[in-house]
Each structure stands twice: as C-alpha cells, then as structure tokens.
Chain A
Amino acid sequence: MEIAFLIEKVAIVVILFVVTLTIAAYSTLAERKVAAFLQDRVGPDRAGPFGVFQPLADGGKMFFKEETTPNGANKWLFIAGPSLALLTSFLGSAVIPWGQSINFFGRIVPLQVTDINVGILYIFGVVSLGVYGIMIGGWASNNKYSLMGAIRGASQNISYEIAMGLSIIALLLCTNSLSFKVIAEQQHGINWNFWYQPLGFLIFLVCAFAETNRVPFDLPECETELIGGYNTEYSGFKMGAYMFAEYINMFVSSAVMATLYFGGYNYPGMDFVNLHLGPTWGPLVGVAVLLGKILAFIFFFMWVRWTVPRFRYDQLMNLGWKILIPLAIANIVVTACVITFFDKF
C-alpha cells in the first residue's frame, strides 16, 4: 500500500514535471508564433513543419552558448538567482488539482500531487518567493541596470501581491475553503466562481500579469529602458533558466486562474461524459479541458503582450495602490454584505 502510494505520487510528479517543461518550451515557440500572426507574419517555420522543433534548437543554443560571469559579480549569488527563479516557478504546480480522482486499474488515484488544506496560501508563499530570484540575480550582477530591474521587480511584486491577496479574500468568502481540491469540486459543471466574482477575477488577472512580469507590467526587464533589467548580464543556460522560469510562472498562474475562477477541470455536461466514458477516461477528459483552459490563458497572456504597451513606473504604482487595492477592498465588502444578506433572509 505504502509503496503503491509512493509510486503513484512519483509518477504524478514526473508527469507534471515533464508536462510543465514541455509547455514552457513550447510557450517560447507559441510566443513567437502568436507575435508573428498578430503582426501579419508567419514566425519561425524552418525547424520542422511549422517550426515545431524550434524549441529544441533554441534549447540547444542555450546550452552551447558561452556563459560569462561579470568580474564584479557575486559568483555564488549569480548562480543562485536563476536557480531560485526556476525552483520557485516549479513549486507552484504541486497543489493544482488536474482532474477528478481517476480509476486506474481498480485504484482510485487523485490527480493532484498534494492536497494541502491551505493550498492558496501555499501558492501565494511560493509565488512571492519568486521575486527573490529576480532580486538576487539583479543584485549579484553588479550592474546598474540589473539593480534597477531588481528593485522594480521587488517593489512591483510587493504592491501587486496585496491587491491579489485581497481579491482572493473575496473569493474565499464565497468558497469557504482554502483547499484547491474543494474549490475545484464546488465549481461542478458551469457553476464557476467567475460568475460570482467577475471583478475579483479582473483584479486577480491584472495582478497575475504583474506577478509574472509580463507586458504591460514587464518593468523589471524592459529591454528598451533597462536593456533586459535583471538578466542583462546573464547568458547561456542561466539566461535560459530565467526565461523558462517566466514561462513556467505563466503556466502556473494560468492554471491557478483556471482553477480558482474558471472551474478547473469542470465543464458543462461532465456528468454525462463521465457516465458514458467510465471512471478512467471521464476524468481524463476533464484534464484535457483544464489544459485547454490553461492554454487559452497562456494565449491571452501573449495576446495582451502584443497589444498593450508597457506602463510607466509611476502609472504602475498608481494602478496598484490607488485603484486595485481600493477596488479589491470594496469587492470584499460588497461580497461580504451580499453573503450575509442571503444567509440571514
């Protein structure tokens, strides 16, 4: 029994790891393809049909490029920065429920690495650790631009984490649980949290863009002002680690948004499908639906990147502190009032 449990968890972790890496790798291709299509181009199409081997070529290039370390850099922290960024970006996917429990040769396997009852707090903890990768990397580079990028990254993440947390509180008032598994189960069918918390979702979405340092909030990097910001001095695989961390962050935050607000693996007509496909294949359809939602969110991230220009730094701070936080607090108050009203009468 114990051995089977161990094998089951290791299998889920390995599959999740591989899927995350694959999606992150292909996000780099998708980013270029989406950019190209939005700009009336075709994008990379030489490596294999439609450029499907482009990520492999890019990865190979990353490995074989010369890695330079600046003279004045702190050697140890210079390596620790990208490692930490990559590590923390991977950790987030552990609590996401990828589907209903599946019947695997007579054994009920929950499609989740671990169901901790404070899953949301865990995600927030891990995500806020991500900023250390940026800060340490920017600091260790001993470069003015990198330091500027690191400072921007830190202050941006701090200010947006508050609004993000507040928008989640309103959601928690509706769900009464911090466990991702419970939250996903509550959104059975089309009973998604988005219908109850549209404003909360909007705030969360904006904050997710800021947390993952994507355009229009890519101020820690911004090539045009800071020449790459915190990763100015990085090359080769360390640079690749930062890039990968960004795409994995995007994947994880898409998964969190899909699970918290868009029903996770739930979809209308799931009972019918489960009844006809049985307990093994039915949940797998749910997994596919969740992956579809995640990919849609990733596309949305890229779509916004090639539409909206970057915010100025003071605009970013204004938006975070003066608009999003009051809005999120108002959202909490209204949600609490409505819930109390419906409970009492």
Chain B
Amino acid sequence: MESLSGRKKVLEQKPMNFWERIYLPAIFKGMGITFMHMFKKKETTYYPEQEREFSENWRGMHSLKRDENGKERCTACGLCALSCPAEAITMTSAERQKGEEHLYREEKYAAVYEINMLRCIFCGLCEEACPKEAIYLDGPIVPSEFLRKDFIYGKDKLVELSITDLAAQKGVLA
C-alpha cells in the first residue's frame, strides 16, 4: 500500500547466513556482553544505611506544619480529608481554650489527626487542598512496620517538631 506520510520505511529482512543460522557466534557475543557487566559499577543503594537522592518534587511522608511562632497551622477544616481520593485522612476538631493560644494559630484545631499510610497513595491532593499551608508531603519514605495498626499515623508522628522541642533535642545531643 502506498504510504501517505512518505515516512514509512520497509525493513529489508535478508535471509540469515550460515553463521547467523547456527546462532552460536551470537550467543557467545551475548555472553561476552553479560560477562563484562560483572565488573561494572553496581547500581545498588544499600537502603537503610544509604538513601537515594530524591527529586525536588518528590512526595514522601506527610508533616503538619507550624507557623513562625511555633503554633500549629491546621484548623481542622477537613478539606484534606475531603480531597483525599483514598480516604486515608480522618480528624476530630476541637475548640481552642483560654491559655492555648501559643499552641494553635486559630480558634479551631485538630485534636486528633490520623493518616492511614496503607491507604495513602501519596498523590499530594491534600497539600493542594489545604488553605492554611498546614500539610506537606516533604518527609522521607514511610518505614515498614509489622502490624497494620502501626501504619495509622497520629499527630505524634505527623506534626513537625516545635522550636522548643528542637532545642530540647539539641540539648540532649549536645
């Protein structure tokens, strides 16, 4: 049939000659190639000890952010839970009491905030949905666990450390 685009190339298939038909030279050549790979640099990353470099927009474990004064940004509006296609996020909201102003930025906050890491597909829709810039998927790879219940991450694992916590941690280290 005539080619309309004019870019069609008909491959010419020549009948194989004697050496090609007995296959052995080709096999030995292939074996030479595979053998040379024995001495090449290995691509393996020894994972728990070494970590692969991730790209800038890589999405890992979630973290709930604090503002510049160390107050939690999340107001428990539920938009992240609503946007989540895997329904991995649940939360319970609570009203801020007198004397808690240094902990939470606004009058409402998430008393319980849970992400089921087995359900999460790391699509990043929660961070897009968040109006308060409170959730980001900027953490490392979620580690493996032995029990399913351990994959439900609460605020203890998700909220980023406050300035005082960081100072305390540094104090321990120092």
Contacts and interface: CB of A to CB of B under 8 A. Distances in A.
Interface of A: 37-42, 303-304, 306-308
CB-based closest 3 A-B pairs = A307-B34, A42-B44, A37-B38
B31 interface: yes
Given A307-B27, A308-B27, A38 B34 contact: yes
A41 B30 contact: no
Query: What bracket does the count of chain B residues touching chain A fall in?
Result: 10 to 19
B38 A38 contact: yes
B146 interface: no
Contact of B43 (A38, A41, A303, A308): A41
7 contacts: A37-B37, A38-B34, A41-B44, A42-B44, A304-B31, A307-B33, A307-B34
B85 to A, nearest CB: 33
A319 to B, nearest CB: 9
A38 B30 contact: no
Given A307-B27, A307-B30, A308-B30, A40 B35 contact: no
Nearest to A216: B27
B42 A41 contact: yes
A70 to B, nearest CB: 30
A40 B30 contact: no
Contacts of B35: 38, 303
B149 interface: no
A306 B43 contact: no
Chain A interface SS verdict (over half): loop
A40 B35 CA distance: 11
B170 interface: no
B8 interface: no
B42 A38 contact: no
Chain B interface SS verdict (over half): helix
Nearest to B21: A323
Given A40-B41, A40-B43, 17 more contacts: A38-B34, A40-B37, A40-B40, A40-B42, A41-B43, A41-B44, A42-B44, A303-B31, A303-B34, A303-B35, A304-B31, A307-B27, A307-B30, A307-B33, A307-B34, A308-B27, A308-B31
Nearest to B32: A307
Contacts, number: 30
Contacts of B42: 40-42
A307 B31 contact: yes
A169 B33 CA distance: 35
A276 B9 CA distance: 71
B89 to A, nearest CB: 35
A303 to B, nearest CB: 6
B25 to A, nearest CB: 13
A277 B38 CA distance: 36
A306 B34 contact: yes
Nearest to A309: B30
Contacts of B30: 307-308
A234 to B, nearest CB: 28
B88 to A, nearest CB: 31
Contacts of A42: 42, 44
Nearest to B36: A38
B140 to A, nearest CB: 21
A152 B24 CA distance: 24
A47 B35 CA distance: 26
A39 B40 CA distance: 9
Contacts of B43: 40-41
Contacts of B27: 307-308
Interface in B88-118: none
A41 B40 CA distance: 9
Contacts of A307: 27, 30-31, 33-34
Interface string B1-43: 0000000000000000000000000010011011101101111
Nearest to B35: A303
A304 B27 CA distance: 9
Best-surrounded residue of B30, B31, B34 (most CB of chain A within 10 A): B34
A38 B33 CA distance: 9
Contacts of B37: 37-40
B144 to A, nearest CB: 14
B71 to A, nearest CB: 44
A107 B42 CA distance: 51
A298 to B, nearest CB: 15
B7 to A, nearest CB: 31
Contacts of B33: 307
A107 B29 CA distance: 50
A303 B31 CA distance: 7
Nearest to A319: B23
Contacts of B40: 40
Best-surrounded residue of A41, A303, A307, A308 (most CB of chain B within 10 A): A307
